[in-house]
Structure 1
């Protein structure tokens, strides 16, 4: 369980880095889309240069969308590893129930938490990141097609602020690290 807590910390740090990278790429995508929209309004359809500019912009947009897809794929890998940690935690819980009965061990393995509390905490972390990943996948599908600045701002805000990953998630991780001795009391 102590190793799992350290793994949770490392995966959350990796997620945060990917979130930052993904936001930067999504911001570039939004800027490209908005500049394309502005160019179409200014130039109109009669100009011969307008056909060359969107083609170059389209290639750049496609490149940035591929970069964002790569970030989301890495996020999928992080969530998959989190799910493996959750499976491991459930296995520990099942083993403890087998050895000590449904009530579990009488003396906590670490400071105060029993195995069920570890499982609940890991489950809430896993659920939060799974939901956040679904949101990221939806943003990935939409951000390259969005032409209104209002919707673009909403998508970027959702990516940056991670509504399914509230501050309680970070506190749950810190509690997990405190309980396992990775952080001093």
Structure 2
């Protein structure tokens, strides 16, 4: 009797097929295509961000080493390292502009496509827009930190200040594991990652 009850309580999960999976040639059109393209663009932009972040972290580390010798001294090497960090931040600034465009595009698409049906696996347009906005907002906040580090690290008066700014750059506190999970959710839902 208990075995029969257990069988009736659990039902197999039925996953809806994504339009991406249903389309043999992967030729999507309309809002679905635009949303999927924005998701891909965000992922590619984040990869460029990560490359610049790592490059900047190396400059920040070298600035910290230079300032550790004499925190109050401004050497030509420090000026060169700060200039290199400035170039990294300028490249991040262009990425920040792209993030703002993605946010505007997805919100405009959401207003045009008022359909509340699921677009891919589980998310409707509103859900995709919210995910993208959360991801983009985290990177926009992190960009402010990068600018703050650039403006202050070379002028730090103590080793503790220098280490604080170096940690701020490296840690990326606004880009948490939750944001990375949202990015993976977006990629899975839009068909850029395979559901295993």
Structure 1 and Structure 2 fold alike (TM over 0.5): yes
Moved over 4 A (4+): none
Cα distance per residue 1:149-170 (max 9 Å; x no partner):
2122211111111111111111
1:111 equivalenced with 2:121 (yes/no):
yes
- Give the distance between the partners of 1:177 and 1:73, measured in 2 at CA: 28
Return the offset for 1:36: 3.0
Return the offset for 1:147: 3.2
Which residue of 71, 81, 84 corresponds with 1:64? Answer: 81
Contact (CA 8 Å) 1:34, 1:147: kept in 2 or not? no
Which residue of 170, 173, 177 corresponds with 1:167? Answer: 177
The 5 Å alignment of 1:65-144 reads: 65-97=82-114, 104-105=115-116, 107-144=117-154
1:3 equivalenced with 2:6 (yes/no):
no
Contact (CA 8 Å) 1:112, 1:179: kept in 2 or not? yes
State the match for 1:19 in structure 2.
53
Considering fraction of residues, name the structure with more helix: 1
What is the TM-score of this pair, normalised by structure 1?
0.82
- Give the distance between the partners of 1:78 and 1:3, measured in 2 at CA: 17
Which residue of 140, 158, 165 corresponds with 1:148? Answer: 158
Return the offset for 1:27: 1.1
Cα distance per residue 1:100-150 (max 9 Å; x no partner):
xxxx23x31211101011111111111111110101101111100113121
Return the offset for 1:25: 0.3
Alignment RMSD: 1.4
Q: Which has the higher contact order (CA 8 A, sep 6+)?
A: 1
The 5 Å alignment of 1:24-35 reads: 24-35=58-69
- Give the distance between the partners of 2:182 and 2:136, measured in 1 at CA: 11
State the match for 2:192 in structure 1.
182
Contact (CA 8 Å) 2:67, 2:162: kept in 1 or not? no
**Unpaired segments of 5 or more residues in structure 1?**
41-53, 98-103
- Give the distance between the partners of 2:173 and 2:192, measured in 1 at CA: 27
Return the offset for 1:17: 1.0
